[in-house]
Amino acid sequence: MRVLIVEDEAKTAAYLRKGLEENGFTTDVATDGETGLQFARHGGYDAIILDIMLPRRDGFEILAEIRRRDSHTAVLLLTARDQVTDRVAGLEAGADDYLVKPFAFSELLARVRTILRRGHARQPALIQIADLEIDLSGHRATRAGQALDLTPKEFRLLSLLARRAGDVISRTVIAEQVWDINFDSGTNVVDVHMYRLRAKLDDPFSRRLIHTVRGVGYVLEDRGG
């Protein structure tokens, strides 16, 4: 599970990162609103822990932008603003939960897990593209009724492409989301695994579903024909 922490207090951000990673989450941290929004726009986070009072852009602006583009990512507002009017404004703006500082980490962790469960319930368990079916809950994929024998990484790669079917996803984003590589390491791991995935998903069939966008990345979509 990937969590974005948007928090300008360095000690709080480090505390959240440490606690979440000890509990099996992968985290990114942004220390101002503009950077947080840029991170959020790249997508792929399961949850975002968002402060309200941030430099450059406040949490309400970021939340509004997230909800214009994405209704699935879980958002927890974590703030010192404790007025009822603030809580109501945050929840009505699309936050899944609201927690006031100071906070107990165990409570925050429980709330994050709860909103993640709700988020998964909102997402479809089955994605169909042409004759390809992906059962996200069961970790199975079939094409034209034939089971695809995918490794865990190949299934994760396919799931990422399928959840954003029709969108071109860059190699950098794929490397971040599937391998947690957050820098240009010069590795060709994405292309190698994409080659192997195509060999199973596309090569045995007449219609190709994975397409290369030269110089950018890959897209999964049914182009007919």
Residue 100 has pLDDT above 60, yes or no: yes
Read off the pLDDT band of 8 (50, 70, 90): very high
Q: Tell me the C-alpha distance between 184 and 202, whole Å.
A: 28
Q: Are 214 and 207 in contact (CB under 8 A)?
A: no
Tens digit of each residue's pLDDT (9 = 90 or more) over 49-65: 999 999 999 999 999 98
In the chain, what are the domains? 2-120 (3.40.50.2300), 126-220 (1.10.10.10)
Read off the pLDDT band of 204 (50, 70, 90): very high
Read off the pLDDT band of 75 (50, 70, 90): very high
Mean pLDDT on 170-186:
74
In terms of C-beta distances under 8 Å and separation of at least 24 residues, what long-range contacts does 78-81 make, across chains too? 78/7, 78/49, 78/50, 78/51, 78/103, 78/108, 79/51, 79/52, 79/53, 80/53, 81/52, 81/53
- Most confident of the following: 22-31, 61-70, 78-87, 190-199: 190-199
Tens digit of each residue's pLDDT (9 = 90 or more) over 111-160: 998 888 776 555 666 889 999 999 876 789 999 999 999 998 898 899 88
In terms of C-beta distances under 8 Å and separation of at least 24 residues, what long-range contacts does 131-134 make, across chains too? 131/205, 131/207, 132/162, 132/201, 132/209, 134/158, 134/159, 134/162
Amino acid at 125: A
Q: What percent of the chain has pLDDT over 90?
A: 48
Q: Tell me the C-alpha distance between 100 and 22, whole Å.
A: 22
Say what the pTM is. Answer: 0.59
